[in-house]
Structure 1
Amino acid sequence: MQQSESIRRYLRTRAMIEDDTKQSDSTDSDSTVKATVQGDPLYLYYRLFTTYIGIPSRKPILPGNRYVGRIRAKSVAPPQTVFLIKRHIFKIEDMTYNPQSALYLSKSCRSALDDGERVSISPGSVGSNPEDPMELVIATYTGSPQIEIVSMKPEYIYYSLYTEDGDITSKHPINCGGDDSPSVARIDNYLVPPPHSPDCIVRCISYVEGFSYCVWHRLFIDVASESPINYREVWIPESSGPGSTPDIPLIFVKFAETRQSIRPRPHYTYIKVYSASSESAEVFTVPFLLYTDGVVRREILQPSSWSRPPTYDNVYRVYNDAGVHGFVKKDDAVLT
């Protein structure tokens, strides 16, 4: 009898165990909690820029490349917005946070993210690959970034320098130049800050050559070009296109640094300044401060349309210390 009772207890216990096992294997229960296996840590990779040039990270992680840093994704406070990612990068780089900084998802992005946007952080997402890092423009920098090769396979942009008097020698020529050919220099495309527009190339070359940046520095496809490259357009260097080899460099024309003040013609109290990037004109009334280099140019103030050809006018190129720049018709102004 005792043996039979023991057998019955064993069978009941076994049945309970099997029943529990079936319940734990069932997929119909919402109350089942499954543990997530912890994989390798997830990182966000980034590169730093001023508004002029790429700068080294203080925490580089790639051998032979001081320009790529990284942060641990789990170190970014929730809800992991652009603002919080920027704050953490500034902390890692031991820099004071600058609210004017701008974060771009990758080198191909043409506009910065809003601070309030959330960034999806997961394996394979933007910023998770050191070959395609996020790009952070920190706006200001107290150090002196050196000009060096950024990548193992650099993408060079070749250029020649000119003033309006003619060609000049670069501070970093890769050839000697001569009577038959101007000097040619180059920058690594990875040093050009986002959004990688022609204006960004002008900023980078200005920095490398020791020029003060000016909106009137201009970039041309070649010496035969009639008009400069539009600063606002998307322009991506191509492997066989302009600027890709020393034989077909881009042409950088440095703005003349001499300046004269300009005022309306007699008996007028205002002057029209035509925008350099649109058809609009802004009216300035006396007193105001506008400057020009005094050179009369032929510029298109009214682009062509289906009903009319483009209109060229004799103009002065003008600007002021507040950042206003454009064209004034020669007949509307007097130099002083």
Structure 2
Amino acid sequence: MQDASDGRGGTEPHPGPSARYVYYRLYTQEGPITSYNPIYSNNPFISRIIPRSVPPPRTAASLKRHLCKIEGFSAPESCTLYLSLSENVPVDGGTRLSLQADLGPGLSTSDPVALVVSPQESGNRSPASVETRALGEIGEQVQTHYVYYRIYDENGEVTSKMSFNTDDTSLGRIETLSVPPPHAVASLKSCIIKSEGVSAHDLQVFEDDTGEITMKDDDIIPLLADSYPGNVEEQPIAIVYKETRTPNLGAFTKKFRCKYSQSV
């Protein structure tokens, strides 16, 4: 019988007096990925493992390999591991991890480790090795935090695909937890580009819709803090993109005649 404590079915045992769980989330550069091993019926993005499932020596590399194995990714070297959603750089593979008691990373659903996989690895994900069980446990209801943004093309406001207000359709929002680490402008841009289906070409991000301050790709956004650009509906960031234009092949109306001669 399988151990439900890591989201893979069975009767959930107590992890033991000296053990605890390591919570984790999965991402690509464009946003979150659902786990093959969810633990809550209302949240497919969060999962957990028991520390003893990670082979010693318990380093960042061994944790990453184990997460890749149970989530269907075959190339751990193409993935990066962050010990917290707030980390700006991935952890070095040789880093020793303390996974006992109240020490080390992944202590709670609100502070999980994050595995960020490459687009190619995400596309080549192998099927789940076990059938996902029916989940009865409901995760803790927490307040959802958003990044609010107003979207424009070169000609003015456009309707956001993430619009939530019928009276203000150019205003969109995405959940802060959908942005993968590092929480830089580049990561936020990738999520919005994916959500809105717009071109990344010449896309600009402004700190607010006055357009006075341009945000650079490597600027860090403290999405887990109480205040950050776009944290309230009344003060959204601004996204401006250039519409991709396809060549008008119908404009070529002149007929071309090809002449050739054949010699024997």
TM-score range, shorter chain: 0.7 to 0.9
User: Is the alpha carbon distance of 1:151 and 1:193 closer, same or farther for their aligned partners in structure 2, counting shifts above 3 Å?
Assistant: farther
Distance 1:239 1:73 in 2: 31
In the other structure, the counterpart of 1:269 is none
In the other structure, the counterpart of 2:106 is 127
2:52 maps to 1:74: yes
Secondary structure class of the residue paired with 1:74: helix
Deviations 1:179-208 (A, max 9, x none): xx6621110000001101111111111111
2:146 maps to 1:156: yes
For structure 2, the 5+ residue unaligned runs are: 1-15, 126-139, 248-264
Give TM-score, length-normalised by structure 1.
0.58
Distance 1:101 1:213 in 2: 23
Kept after mapping to 1: 8 A contact 2:60/2:81: yes
Secondary structure class of the residue paired with 2:147: strand
Distance 2:18 2:46 in 1: 20
Distance 1:190 1:95 in 2: 22
In the other structure, the counterpart of 1:257 is 244
Distance 2:83 2:73 in 1: 21
Picking from 184, 189, 193, the partner of 1:197 is 184
User: Is the alpha carbon distance of 1:212 and 1:50 closer, same or farther for their aligned partners in structure 2, counting shifts above 3 Å?
Assistant: farther
Deviation at 1:116, TM superposition (A): 2.1
The percent of aligned pairs where both chains have the same amino acid is: 32
Deviation at 1:48, TM superposition (A): 0.3
Deviation at 1:212, TM superposition (A): 4.2
Larger Rg computed on CA atoms: 1
Deviation at 1:209, TM superposition (A): 0.8
Q: Which amino acid aligns with 1:109?
A: E
Q: Which amino acid aligns with 1:57?
A: S
For structure 1, the 5+ residue unaligned runs are: 1-37, 144-149, 261-336
Alpha-carbon RMSD across the aligned residues, in angstroms, is 2.4
Deviation at 1:258, TM superposition (A): 4.7
Listed as ranges, the matches of 1:16-95 within 5 Å are: 39=17, 41-95=19-73
Secondary structure class of the residue paired with 2:117: strand
2:189 maps to 1:211: no
Distance 1:76 1:46 in 2: 14
Report which structure shows greater RCO (CA 8 Å, sep ≥6): 2
Secondary structure class of the residue paired with 2:25: strand
Kept after mapping to 1: 8 A contact 2:20/2:101: yes
In the other structure, the counterpart of 1:116 is 94
2:82 maps to 1:104: yes
2:214 maps to 1:228: yes
Picking from 157, 165, 173, the partner of 2:163 is 173
Deviation at 1:241, TM superposition (A): 5.2
Q: Which has the higher strand share?
A: 1
How many residues align? The count is: 213
